[in-house]
Chains A and B, each alone.
Chain A
Amino acid sequence: MRIFWTLLRRELGTFFLSLTGYVIIAAVSLIVGSTFVMLIHNMGTKPFAMPVTQLFFNSFMYWLLVILVAPAITMRLFALEKASGTFETLMTTAVGDLQVVAAKFSAAVIFYMMTWLPTLAGLVIIQRFTNQPKLDLGAVGGMYLGIFLSGCLFLAVGCLASSLTKSQMVAAVVSLAVGVILFILAYMAQVLPDAATAQTEVLYYFNLFKHMEDFTRGVVDTRTVIFYASATFLCLFLTLRVVESRRWK
């Protein structure tokens, strides 16, 4: 456990020691901030029936951000260490494979959640300075849970991609491609008719937009939570296997 914390601290520190971390934070703040300004502008002065949280995540903006930000955060995790050779020095110390994967993933998730911190300011502003209905804590909590769960999935995909290659570029492109595929699946689930065929049943689970809509209304559907959690664990398990594979004969 001690080693896990040491690793986590370093991984997290690396985001702030390099320019990448600040670029990601700046980009997210810019996009979220401008979306927020547009939102305020459109709302005008009259109260809205929909919760503000839902309004914001009704746009594709959120998914665009996650799809772009997750590869940017995760591409470095394993690929850079493999390319520079520090993976060798890391794996010949007392660390276990699981500790390495867990620490890198946790650092990515923590950093990702930190990039969303500015949204808190947006919520406070709406609460204090507009005549919108009072924010529902359930909806706010649901929104952050949704951000967390969907972020975990995309970051886990990024971890897996990064563990497979020495090139950060390849890692980024692979996780970006998977992200786009997930996005397209979600889009299909959204636009396809609601006929109860097997395909639409399966597609339902990939309807990321619907998931987020529920979360931002404060509705936490167990099926959705299980979908994100299991997909995340699957990706992390595969990452662990990849890290272990160097010891296979």
Chain B
Amino acid sequence: MIQVSNLTKRYAGRTAVDDISFTVARGEIVGLLGPNGAGKSTTMRVLSGFMPATSGTVRVAGFDVFHDADETRRRIGYMPENNPLHPEMRVREYLKFRARLKGLGWRKSRERVTTVMEQCGLTDVGRRIIGQLSKGYKQRVGLADALVHEPELIILDEPTIGLDPHQIRSVRALIKSLAGKHTVLISTHILPEVEMMCGRVLIMFDGRVLASDTPENLQRRMAGGSQVIAEIAAPLETLRAVWENLPEVAQFDVSAGEGEFVRCALTPRDGQDLRPLIFHLVRENGWVMRELTRSRHSLEDIYIQVTKPTTEEIE
């Protein structure tokens, strides 16, 4: 659906996006993750056809966004950062205006506006003035606008920024419901959001794409560093000897815990799951165990790890 190859965007004297390439397949929900100023918005602006790239090509549904702007614009629903709307207009009036601008006929635009208003839960506020709506509703108006011409690709720049948890939840649910029918590209710097909504993550930093994978794969890739914590009631020395003799354990750390329990932190070799092994060991020896957990790396750890070296360089 999207093919970005060697995209570079320079503003006067500053490189915002530096030679990035990625593809997004039809029907995917892809999250563009990165700190502020990483080049997410710039990438999206180029994708939407608002600005040209300095070099490189961007194709949407096979059309070049710069040379076939009319074809690509028809296929893209774009909600820019901060969701700009006309505050003096009424919701229904605004959506109809937008539908007409996107080339829909009179009858068709009326039909589509009714549909997207239902889809986005705006039916009750159709007559309200946009400027008087709550932020959550405004965000839905922005989403409805992006959807109104039935685009194949939806580009949303920070769709949940500045919303309260309830509103975030409903906007997320709305975006999730788009999966399958549309291809969605979302930018955010909120990590759990990506984990919840996206099938794939692109981590951007300093104008480059540093990682691109499913959230699960990214976590698996990091699993080599994940630890298993076990609290077992057994003599400390015995445990130390047991871990030392286990070939599956790469690293371990035992410390006396509460009462007779000993806290063991074990790092597996080759990302193996140690938990069944530990269970059998405990059962064979007749020990008492009260905790057995694997501390998974959250996307946050990955994100921090991926973006760390460069952050330090800057500082």
List residues of A whose CB falls within 8 A of some B CB. 2-3, 6-7, 10, 14, 17-18, 84-86, 88-95, 246-249
Contacts and interface: CB of A to CB of B under 8 A. Distances in A.
Given A85-B81, A246-B51, A249-B54, A93 B88 contact: no
A88 B101 contact: no
B88 A18 contact: yes
Contacts, number: 64
Residue in B49, B50, B66, B82 whose Cβ sees the most chain A Cβ within 10 Å: B50
Nearest to A84: B84
Residue in A84, A89, A92 whose Cβ sees the most chain B Cβ within 10 Å: A92
Contacts of B79: 89
Nearest to A100: B101
A17 B88 contact: yes
Main secondary structure of the interface of B (DSSP, over half): loop
Interface in B1-59: 45, 48-52, 54
A85 B82 contact: yes
Given A6-B97, A85-B81, A92-B78, 11 more contacts: A3-B103, A10-B86, A14-B86, A18-B88, A84-B84, A89-B80, A90-B101, A92-B50, A93-B102, A246-B50, A249-B54
B70 interface: yes
A95 B97 CA distance: 12
Closest A-B pairs by Cβ, 5 of them: A85-B84, A94-B103, A6-B100, A93-B101, A17-B88
B182 interface: no
B208 interface: no
A64 B103 CA distance: 42
B229 interface: no
B100 A92 contact: no
B84 A89 contact: yes
Contacts of B88: 14, 17-18
A246 B53 CA distance: 11
B269 interface: no
Contacts of B86: 10, 14, 86
Given A6-B97, A10-B97, A92 B84 contact: no
Contacts of A92: 48-50, 73, 76, 78
A92 B103 CA distance: 12
Residue in A10, A88, A90 whose Cβ sees the most chain B Cβ within 10 Å: A88
Contacts of A247: 51-52, 66
Contact of B70 (A14, A89, A94, A248): A94
A246 B52 CA distance: 8
8 contacts: A10-B89, A86-B86, A89-B84, A89-B98, A89-B145, A92-B48, A247-B52, A248-B52
B74 interface: yes
Contacts of B52: 247-249
B125 interface: no
Interface in B102-118: 102-103
B85 interface: yes
Contacts of A248: 52
Contacts of A3: 100-101, 103
B101 A95 contact: yes
Nearest to A83: B84
A14 B74 CA distance: 26
Contact of A17 (B70, B76, B89): B89
B121 to A, nearest CB: 21
Given A92-B49, A92-B50, A246-B51, A86 B85 contact: yes
